[in-house]
Each structure stands twice: as C-alpha cells, then as structure tokens.
Structure 1
Amino acid sequence: MPPEQFHELIWETLQQINKKDFHVVAAHSPTEEAIRDLENVTGITLPEDFLRFSQRTNGLCVLAQEDAWPEAKLFDVGPAWTFHRGLVILGIETEELPEWASIKTAYNSLREIYEVTDVLPLLKIIGDGNHYWGIKQDGSYVEVFDGEATSLECHFTDIYHAEIESLIQRQKDMSELIKKRKSK
C-alpha cells in the first residue's frame, strides 16, 4: 500500500473517535539511527507504509479520557475488557515515546515471555500484555495471543479499523456499566 494511502486510512479510521471520550497522542519522529537499530535488533524490516507513517505519527495512542472511563486502581477486579481502555500503534524509540508504546519493548516481551522471535509487534491494546498484532519478515500480518501467532488475510489498516471499532464499543459498554454502578 502506498504510504500516503496508509496514513489517510489510519486518520480516516480515527474520525470515528469522539474527542470527549478519547484523546489521541503521538511521539516525535524517530531518527534514522533508531530505525536501523530496531531492524538490527529484531532482524525484521519495517513495512515501508508503516515506517513512513511512524516518521510522521510515531507511537499513535488512543486512550479513553479519565472522566469517560476511569483508569483501574491497584487491586481493582472486573471483567478483563474493563481494563482495556486504549489502543496504541507501537512506535520506534524516541526520547519522549513511553517504553510501553515501543516496538522494541513489545518485541522483547514476546521474545522473553513466549519465545516468539519471528513477529514484529505493531499494535496492542493498552492494558492487555498478551495480545499483539504484528508482521512477519515475509510481510504477512499476524495476531499474537498468549504467544500463539495466527496468520491474518488482511492489511494492517483493516486490523486497526476493527480494533478502533472494538475500543469504541468497549467505551460504550463501560459507560453503561458506570451508569449501572451509580444507580445502585
């Protein structure tokens, strides 16, 4: 996919986001050295469209606003989805990119915990350390859940679109849950 089309599709998907419920942030562009370092460490080349996107919008994060979906407190208990209040297109390391939003950190996590070394993670749900979407060296996209990689017959932008829709639905469900709790 041409890099400009990739960029447009990601931002088109974000038009669904209600700004009073979510905020969208990204880090600065990575250096060429950081890009080379990532590819050297992982042995996997970033797809051209994803790389060009990251050079403009690095580590794009969509996170629920605190008043719309409060962050869980230590020792909170609830259904797993209630902790999944955001989505991040993982980024290439820069000084201001949080470690949890880094491709390299996610890659190392997959490698150390699950011994998955042939997937470059590109997307994850915030609050779920077991679920990633990424790419293999051959250019095929995969979903990794609990260390098991499943091949996908779609492009990254399709995955992102579906996950943004899921995030929006979780936010609506959380809003209903909050209303129920307040009415008791």
Structure 2
Amino acid sequence: MSPDQFHDRMWEILQDINKNEFHAVAAKPPTDKAIANLATSTGIALPKDFLAFSQKTNALCIMAREELWPEAKLFDVGPAWTFHRGLVILGIEAEDLPEWANIQNAYESLVELYELTDVLPLLKIMGDGNHYWGVKQDGTFVEVFDGEATTLECSFIDTYATEIKELIQRQKDMCELITKRNKKQH
C-alpha cells in the first residue's frame, strides 16, 4: 500500500463517524527536525506510511462530543469503558501538539512504567493509559497492554478500523446509559 493509499484508507475508516456525535482534531505537521529527533531519541523508525500520514494529518484524535458523553470528573466511578471516549493516533512533536498526543511522551511513559524500550506507540484509547498499539524496532506491529507487548497478525489500519467501530459502539452504549440514569433521577 502506498503512503497515499494509506492516508486515503485512514480517512475512509472515519466515514462512519457521525459529526454530531464526535469531533476530530489534529496538530500541525511536524518539522523534519522533529521527525529526526524522534527516530534518534527512540532508536525506532516510524513506518513510512504512518510517517507520510503524520506529515499530512499529525496526531488525529477522534473524541465523543462533551454534550453527549461528558468527560469523567475526578473520583468518578464506573465501568472502565465509560472513561474511553476517544481514540488518538499519536503524533510527532509540533507547535500545537498536546503532551497526551505525543509519540515521544507515550514512549517515555512506556519506558518509565514498564522498562519497555523497543516499542514506539502509535495509537491509544483516550482514558486508558495502559493500552497502546505500536511498532517494534524490527517493524513488527504490536499491542501493549499493562506493559506486555504482543505481536499482532493484523495491520495498523485493521486495528484502527476495529477501534473506531468499538468507539462508535461505546458512544451508543454511553448514550443509552445516560438515558437510563436520567430516567432514574426523574
């Protein structure tokens, strides 16, 4: 798959996203220096198609709209999935890139928490700091959960498509849960 085909496929996956229920945000493209710094500091090269995507669409975040799925408040309790209201393709350092969407910061977190130095995180569920998908130094695509890296037979694109579908389902489930809660209160 060419980088352009990869980019197009990533956006095709988002066709099922309802713009009234979710919003998408991305950072500015990274500089060549930022790309080189990431490779130098981690020792892991980004896959070419992912890099080309990031140079057009850096750190793409798909998040449920606040009015439909409010962000959890401090000390809120509930099933884990109720805190997972977004999906972010991590990005390369850029002027407007938030820390939580930065590949370098996620990599450093994996190193600090789990001593996992051979995985470059590329994708994460918002609200779940223990779950990433990424690439190893040899180019193998992996899932990292609680510090354990498992090799996957599927591609980044396949995983992204699955996670977007699951995010859409979580949003529907959350709307039902909120409706039930509101009925109990009235």
Please confirm whether the aligned pair reaches a TM-score higher than 0.5, indicating the same fold.
yes
Q: Give the drift of 1:137.
A: 1.6
Q: Name the % identity.
A: 71
Report the residue type matching 2:32 in the other structure: E
Q: Secondary structure at the match of 2:40?
A: helix
Q: Give the drift of 1:154.
A: 1.4
Q: Give the drift of 1:138.
A: 1.4
Q: Secondary structure at the match of 1:164?
A: helix
Distance in 2, matches of 1:89 and 1:167, equals 14
| Structure 1 residues 1-184: aligned runs within 5 Å | 1-184=1-184
Q: Give the drift of 1:155.
A: 1.2
Distance in 2, matches of 1:154 and 1:71, equals 31
Q: Secondary structure at the match of 1:77?
A: coil
Distance in 2, matches of 1:9 and 1:178, equals 33
- Can you give the 5+ residue segments of structure 2 that lack an aligned partner in the other structure? none
Distance in 2, matches of 1:51 and 1:43, equals 15
Q: Give the drift of 1:160.
A: 0.3
Distance in 2, matches of 1:103 and 1:171, equals 26
Distance in 1, matches of 2:103 and 2:155, equals 18
Root-mean-square deviation over aligned CA pairs: 0.5
Distance in 2, matches of 1:158 and 1:8, equals 14
Report the residue type matching 1:154 in the other structure: C
Distance in 2, matches of 1:139 and 1:6, equals 16
Q: Give the drift of 1:140.
A: 1.1
Distance in 2, matches of 1:122 and 1:16, equals 22
- Can you give the 5+ residue segments of structure 1 that lack an aligned partner in the other structure? none
